[in-house]
Amino acid sequence: MIALTALLGCQQEAPAPAPEAEQVSWMMEHTDDWLEDRAWRRERLEEALWDPELPYARKRLSSYGLEVGGWDLLPEIDDRVEAVSQENLARPFEGEALRGEALPETAEAWRALGERAFWMMPMRRDGYAEWLVSRPDLWDAVGLEQDAEGNVRGLVRFRDARGVARVGITYALCHSSGGQAGAANRALDLGLARALYMEEHLDREPGVYAGWGAGRVDVTDDGVDDPLAIQDLWGVRWLSHLNNSGGVRHANPASLAVRFETQFIMGHGLEARPDRALVWALTLYILTIDRPTSEPALNSPGAEVFTERCAACHDPARGYSGGLVEAELLTSDPTAAFSPLRGTGAYKIPSLLGVGGGGPYLHDGSLADLDALLDSGHPFGDPVEGADKDHLKTFLKTL
């Protein structure tokens, strides 16, 4: 476990990621390495998993990018998909390929493919999701959104490694509120969906799922109930680490690509691997998603309060994000920081881009709104009060 030395409670031990243009250029330069060089991908995994003793890291280090065997031998899954709607559930699966035979030739074309992958690439499958699509009467209750054509955002039909038609979950399920790519779907209640599945389909007790609440989900499978708030994806390119406990270092864009590929493999029960071109494209897209409008009020009284109270951790030069901070120094629940699978004893400092869009706030979603956040004394117990609080709230809503 990492020993963190706090600077005002914040540890900036990771260098700031490169600006967007440099990251995109880096990806274009290394596309062939990603697609064709197993040893290169292995090196990228090793530099991202800075603590190889974590069970999360050991699982991947024992299986990914090996010279012989491992996950590279898994079959590549069929990339044909189709949307989920009430109209198409009764008909046989047809599907359309996510990409053609030719690879994109420009950064713009890679990003366009990544956008398609964001909406339609099945990153994981779950029995409760397959049951849920057969119950349109529950869609509103659990926060599923439909587009103008009646398609459920974030759910697709696809064929698994055995050719069986299944239902998959895409990145858009949790991160496309109101149809805006990157916006956290804070009305999504996957805990309720799982609880109903347990009760109505499996005739079992709902367990801890009903207690998660909207906007929170636990995907760690570590035996500990520690649901985390669904986060906006704006500002991912600035993050020094890629999960809440900081177990995955954002060394370069390939750190995110490796994470996506291994998430996919685990999410499909170790039966198949994804099309690596789609993973690369998805990475480029997510690294370049921006909040629709963002004009920080840099000359306002709230900006001065932010500089004094917040900027030591949420560095404006890093997209209002930072490094790691020891969980036990914070006012929030440290449980997830000590996860048996990937606990480091720390939390990453997230980007505040889009923070004014609404709660819940903190990694565990325990604070409903900005008033609760500032009244709580986050991060170290010193509340923001009076005019400073009002000014700071106004400034945060401009990020």
pLDDT at residue 175 greater than cutoff 60: yes
Q: Are residues 103 and 151 in the same domain?
A: yes
Q: Is 1 among the domain residues?
A: no
- pLDDT computed for residue 8 by the predictor: 40
Question: Domain limits at 273?
Answer: 20-287
- For residues 382-394, average pLDDT: 94
Domain shared by 59 and 198, yes or no? yes
Number of domains in the chain: 2
Domain boundary among 231, 259, 287: 287
Does some domain include residue 375?
A: yes
Of 28, 19, 41, 104, nearest in space to 259 by CA = 41
Same domain, 218 and 323: no
Binning pLDDT at 50, 70 and 90, where does residue 15 land? low
Per-residue model confidence as pLDDT tens digits over 273-321: 999 999 999 999 999 998 887 788 889 999 999 999 999 999 999 999 9
User: What CATH number does residue 380 fall under?
Assistant: 1.10.760.10
- In this structure, is residue 221 part of a structural domain? yes
Q: Are residues 282 and 371 in the same domain?
A: no
Question: Per the omega criterion (within 30 degrees of 0), is the bond before 350 cis?
Answer: no
Residue 2 has pLDDT above 60, yes or no: no
Measured distance CA(143)–CA(322) in Å, rounded: 31
Identify whether 5 is part of a domain.
no
Last residue of a domain, one of 287, 310, 334: 287
Please indicate, yes or no, whether residues 192 and 46 belong to a single structural domain of this protein.
yes
124-147 pLDDT, tens per residue?
Answer: 999 999 999 999 999 999 999 999
Residue-wise pLDDT tens digits, 225-243: 888 999 999 989 999 999 8
281 and 313 share one domain: no
Among 5-19, 80-94, 106-120, 178-192, the range scoring the smallest mean pLDDT is 5-19
Position 94 in a domain:
yes
What is the pTM (predicted TM-score) of this model?
0.94
- The predicted pLDDT at position 12 comes to 47
268 in a structural domain: yes
pLDDT of residue 11 exceeding 90, the answer is no
Q: Please give the pLDDT value at position 274.
A: 97
Look at residue 312 and tell me if it is in a domain.
yes
pLDDT in tens, 203-219: 999 888 988 999 999 88
Give the separation between CA 368 and CA 362, rounded to whole angstroms.
Answer: 9
Domain assignment present for 2:
no
Looking at residue 293, its pLDDT comes to: 76
Average pLDDT over residues 29-41: 98
From 242, 259, 287, the end of a domain falls on 287
Same domain, yes or no: 80 and 160: yes
Average pLDDT, the chain: 91
Q: Cα dist. 364→60, 117, 245, 329 in Å?
A: 26, 28, 12, 16
Per DSSP, the residues of 195-218 read HHIIIIIS-S--TTGGGS-TTEE-
What would the mean pLDDT of 367-393 be, rounded to a whole number? 92
End-to-end CA distance of the chain: 34
Is residue 4 scored above 60 in pLDDT? no
Residues 324 and 378 in one domain: yes
